[in-house]
A and B are shown apart, each in its own frame.
Chain A
Amino acid sequence: MKTSKVFGRLLFSVALVGFVAGGGPSAFAGGTVEVLHWWTSGGEAKAVGELKKTFEAQGGTWIDSPIAGGGGDAAMTALRARVIAGNAPSAVQLKGPGIQEWAKLGVIESIDDVATKEKWDAVLPPVVAAVMKYQGKYVAAPVNIHRVNWMWANPAVLAKVGAKAPTTWAEFNETADKLKAAGITPLAHGGQPWQDATIFEVVVLGVGGADFYKKALVDMDQAALSGPTMVASFDQLRKLRGYVDKGFPGRDWNLSTAMVMNGQAGFQIMGDWAKGEFLAAGKKPGVDFLCVPPPGSGFLMNADSFTFFKDPKPGRAEGQKVLASEIMSPAFQRTFNLAKGSIPARIDVKLDDFDDCAKRSAADLAAATKAGSLLPSLAHEMAVPRTVRGEVLDVVTNFFNSDMSSKDAAAALAAAVKRAQ
């Protein structure tokens, strides 16, 4: 009895899904999209809600497929299963070289006609545009640009030891030593592989410069990976290891941010999502906390994007085009990034409502684009495929948590990258 009831309900829901998926009400002008994403909490959920709202305002039908967990790992597993089953969602929150990996399998839909019509090439930084394209055609639309190399500082704490925000690593080390002597944790850090990799890539950019970063962490050049500049980078990373407190392993990044906020720690090196924590606590940029670029020049970017998958169900192709156009509209880029704390991927969006850190980020982005020092982040899956990234993370995190020498680490890094390629 009970079973038959459950079965009946199941049948009903299957029928319902079939009705929706079959495009019963797809007579709407905006078409239908099913969007797979893992933005399920806080500012992220709010940001994706904005996208849904704008899309539905165009008369489209939005089927939400949020899959939380594991920083997108769960969503990727679901995506894999759905692609194998021949039932791919219309748009997926997928970024970086991951786009190319899926495109090679022939399951990605081009939206190049929308991009050409709206002249995306003219409004996107070329490095960002290159990530969104497969064989010269746009297959994804970027929603934002996060800056990874930010240093968050507590000015009250710095004032205690009479220091200013450092501009070189030598100055940073000096200030950190002073903080340590004063009984303050110099660097708030969470020992998770991606966070270790975040400070590692910031150090590589700071020590080696933009060209070296590109050669080593984007092109994965063997000589650069094992060379003396890399050894020097590891030396500085070893220094930073001495500046973290004892309870760092496994700590989440927002707890490190709280340490800076409460004056327990002087600095945190983290992307601009850390800003959201400060702002949520009612802190003012420039007064209660500082956002300064870490030593070295350049801009490490992490751009989220929606990638379009081949979805033959009725109304979907139309929905994809509307969605792509919506994502790139200046109005959406503005509202979305105000909610998420990043800056628009479009460089022509007015930033009047944004805070000073975001304005600084946008100015540095423009400068870095010109100087050729706009670089994809390795830690955030923008620079290399996940296979290579994973091996790099293993070496970096192992170095950070052991007493491995810098020379051995550089050699291990080169060997690990070779293994993954």
Chain B
Amino acid sequence: MLARVVEKWLPRIVVMPLFAVSLFFVYGFIAWTTWISFTRSVVMPDYGFDGLAQYERLWSTPRWYVALGNLAVFSILFIGLCIVVGILLAILLDQRIRIEGAIRTVYLYPMALSFIVTGTAWKWILNPGLGLEHLAHQWGWTDFHFGWLVDPQMAIYTVVIAGVWQSSGYVMALFLAGLRSVDDEVLRAAAIDGAGPIRTYTSIVLPMIRPVFFSAIIVLAHLAIKSYDLVVALTGGGPGYATDVPATFMYSFAFQRSELGTAAASAVMMLVTILAIIVPYLYSELREAGR
């Protein structure tokens, strides 16, 4: 009798503190931030309701649009390129080559670095006075120009380059696992039916590992939306604020400018963006699970 009660309640009791903590520290603070976004808070929180003034302010700030535009460019290119590069690497590695383990590790290693290290390293590589351009000039190719890092129009693409370098190895690992899970019988059947390697992958293997795409996109999307450290280390949001993203915008308004209200409004906008991606995904997942 007692054993049954314990069996019934013990898991709940064990989970309870964690549940309470995350309820408070995650959802409690989300609620607090949302509330602050409807107030006039400047240096310190001020709990008087002020309607949508902070949102009007946010949406009339040119810098916010720059941040949103950069987020769109970065997310689309980052997710797209990571997946393309990841799949290619995975397929190449899947050809039963020698020392696969070593190569896999090499590709996966960038993931072990933090975005700060990645950003700093690429900052030096891409700096016209120090890195690639300088090297090319020293080798005698003096016409070589690669100043994306210091060009406000192009700087956001350097963030994409560094991000893809960092994360595509991880995507490769995801896809490699997916490819390995495909039954050899299927591949053999395809070969007997006369499908070439390209046809085999595009029509049979990749559709079969569709769930891997979903996982990869979800992981990369949240990396993209919350990207902060990479931008800070690589460009510092510059030149000017040309590579600002919502996360750096929020940080700079909250902590450099004492504009807690506007910063909270931008944080809520980021949350809404993530929800817009996550909720449909969760919904479809849960519906499938329920079936």
A residues engaging B (CB < 8 A)? Answer: 70, 73, 76-77, 80, 83-84, 101-102, 105, 191-193, 196, 246-250, 385-387, 389-390, 394, 397-398, 400-402, 412, 419
Contact A385 B240 (CB under 8 A): no
Contact A401 B239 (CB under 8 A): yes
**B253 interface residue, CB < 8 Å from A?**
yes
18 A-B contacts (beta carbon < 8 Å): A70-B255, A70-B256, A80-B43, A101-B42, A101-B43, A105-B44, A191-B240, A193-B240, A193-B241, A196-B240, A247-B127, A247-B129, A248-B150, A249-B155, A250-B236, A386-B256, A387-B257, A397-B238
Q: Which residues of A contact B239 (CB under 8 A)?
A: 191, 249-250, 401
CB within 8 A of A83: which of B44, B238, B255?
Answer: B44
**B60 interface residue, CB < 8 Å from A?**
yes
A68 to chain B, nearest CB (A): 14
A190 to chain B, nearest CB (A): 10
Please measure, in the bound complex, the distance between the C-alpha atom of A80 and the C-alpha atom of B239, giving whole angstroms.
30
Q: Which residues of B contact A70 (CB under 8 A)?
A: 255-256
**B152 interface residue, CB < 8 Å from A?**
yes
B17 to chain A, nearest CB (A): 15
Contact B240 A400 (CB under 8 A): yes
A250 to chain B, nearest CB (A): 5
Contact B128 A247 (CB under 8 A): yes
Residue of A nearest to B46 (CB): A105
Please measure, in the bound complex, the distance between the C-alpha atom of A400 and the C-alpha atom of B150, giving whole angstroms.
12
Task: Name the residue in B123, B155, B256, B259 with the highest tally of chain A Cβ atoms < 10 Å from its Cβ.
Answer: B256
Contact B238 A250 (CB under 8 A): yes
Residue of B nearest to A102 (CB): B43
**B242 interface residue, CB < 8 Å from A?**
yes
**B63 interface residue, CB < 8 Å from A?**
yes
Enumerate B115-169 residues with CB–CB distance to A below 8 Å: 123, 127-129, 147, 149-150, 152, 155
Q: Which residues of B contact A390 (CB under 8 A)?
A: 252-253, 256-257, 259
Q: Which residues of A contact B11 (CB under 8 A)?
A: none
Please measure, in the bound complex, the distance between the C-alpha atom of A102 and the C-alpha atom of B252, giving whole angstroms.
19
B residues engaging A (CB < 8 A)? Answer: 42-45, 57, 60-63, 123, 127-129, 147, 149-150, 152, 155, 235-236, 238-242, 252-253, 255-259
Contact B256 A397 (CB under 8 A): no
Q: Which residues of A contact B127 (CB under 8 A)?
A: 247
- Count: A-B pairs, CB below 8 Å: 86
A241 to chain B, nearest CB (A): 11
Please measure, in the bound complex, the distance between the C-alpha atom of A76 and the C-alpha atom of B259, giving whole angstroms.
13
Contact B42 A76 (CB under 8 A): no
A387-B42 contact in complex given A192-B238, A249-B238, C-beta closer than 8 Å: yes
Contact A250 B152 (CB under 8 A): no
Q: A105-B44, A250-B238, A401-B238 are in contact. List 9 more A-B contacts (CB 8 A).
A: A73-B255, A80-B43, A84-B44, A193-B241, A249-B155, A249-B239, A250-B150, A386-B259, A394-B63
A77-B255 contact in complex given A250-B235, A398-B240, A401-B240, C-beta closer than 8 Å: yes
CB within 8 A of B241: which of A76, A77, A102, A394?
Answer: A394
Q: Which residues of A contact B236 (CB under 8 A)?
A: 192, 250
Please measure, in the bound complex, the distance between the C-alpha atom of A401 and the C-alpha atom of B241, giving whole angstroms.
9
Residue of B nearest to A71 (CB): B256
Please measure, in the bound complex, the distance between the C-alpha atom of A400 and the C-alpha atom of B253, giving whole angstroms.
21
Q: Which residues of B contact A385 (CB under 8 A)?
A: 258
Please measure, in the bound complex, the distance between the C-alpha atom of A83 and the C-alpha atom of B258, giving whole angstroms.
15
Q: Which residues of B contact A247 (CB under 8 A)?
A: 127-129, 150
Q: Which residues of A contact B61 (CB under 8 A)?
A: 419
Task: Name the residue in B127, B239, B255 with the highest tally of chain A Cβ atoms < 10 Å from its Cβ.
Answer: B239
Contact B258 A387 (CB under 8 A): yes
CB within 8 A of B242: which of A76, A105, A387, A401?
Answer: A401
Residue of A nearest to B151 (CB): A249
Please measure, in the bound complex, the distance between the C-alpha atom of A27 and the C-alpha atom of B152, giving whole angstroms.
60
Please measure, in the bound complex, the distance between the C-alpha atom of A77 and the C-alpha atom of B257, giving whole angstroms.
11
A246-B257 contact in complex given A394-B241, A401-B242, C-beta closer than 8 Å: no
Q: Which residues of A contact B238 (CB under 8 A)?
A: 191-193, 249-250, 397, 401
Task: Name the residue in A191, A246, A249 with the highest tally of chain B Cβ atoms < 10 Å from its Cβ.
Answer: A249
Please measure, in the bound complex, the distance between the C-alpha atom of A248 and the C-alpha atom of B236, giving whole angstroms.
13
Please measure, in the bound complex, the distance between the C-alpha atom of A397 and the C-alpha atom of B238, giving whole angstroms.
9
Please measure, in the bound complex, the distance between the C-alpha atom of A307 and the C-alpha atom of B170, giving whole angstroms.
50
B218 to chain A, nearest CB (A): 31
Q: Which residues of A contact B147 (CB under 8 A)?
A: 246
Contact A387 B259 (CB under 8 A): yes
Q: Which residues of A contact B258 (CB under 8 A)?
A: 76, 101, 385-387
Residue of A nearest to B45 (CB): A84
A397-B241 contact in complex given A390-B252, A412-B62, C-beta closer than 8 Å: yes
A256 to chain B, nearest CB (A): 13
Contact A419 B60 (CB under 8 A): yes
Residue of A nearest to B252 (CB): A390
B225 to chain A, nearest CB (A): 22
Please measure, in the bound complex, the distance between the C-alpha atom of A80 and the C-alpha atom of B255, giving whole angstroms.
10
Please measure, in the bound complex, the distance between the C-alpha atom of A376 and the C-alpha atom of B175, giving whole angstroms.
59
Please measure, in the bound complex, the distance between the C-alpha atom of A329 and the C-alpha atom of B128, giving whole angstroms.
49
B238 to chain A, nearest CB (A): 5
Q: Which residues of A contact B45 (CB under 8 A)?
A: 84
Task: Name the residue in A76, A84, A250, A387 with the highest tally of chain B Cβ atoms < 10 Å from its Cβ.
Answer: A250
Q: Which residues of A contact B42 (CB under 8 A)?
A: 101, 387
B117 to chain A, nearest CB (A): 17
Q: Which residues of A contact B57 (CB under 8 A)?
A: 419
**Interface pairs A-B: 10 shortest CB-CB:** A401-B240, A390-B257, A249-B239, A247-B129, A397-B240, A401-B239, A249-B150, A401-B152, A386-B258, A73-B255
Residue of A nearest to B258 (CB): A386
Please measure, in the bound complex, the distance between the C-alpha atom of A184 and the C-alpha atom of B200, giving whole angstroms.
61
Task: Name the residue in A192, A389, A394 with the highest tally of chain B Cβ atoms < 10 Å from its Cβ.
Answer: A394
Residue of B nearest to A418 (CB): B60
Please measure, in the bound complex, the distance between the C-alpha atom of A398 and the C-alpha atom of B62, giving whole angstroms.
10
Contact B62 A73 (CB under 8 A): no
Q: Which residues of B contact A84 (CB under 8 A)?
A: 44-45
Q: Which residues of B contact A77 (CB under 8 A)?
A: 255
Please measure, in the bound complex, the distance between the C-alpha atom of A401 and the C-alpha atom of B257, giving whole angstroms.
21
Please measure, in the bound complex, the distance between the C-alpha atom of A105 and the C-alpha atom of B45, giving whole angstroms.
11
Please measure, in the bound complex, the distance between the C-alpha atom of A193 and the C-alpha atom of B235, giving whole angstroms.
12
Q: Which residues of B contact A398 (CB under 8 A)?
A: 62-63, 240-241
Please measure, in the bound complex, the distance between the C-alpha atom of A246 and the C-alpha atom of B258, giving whole angstroms.
33
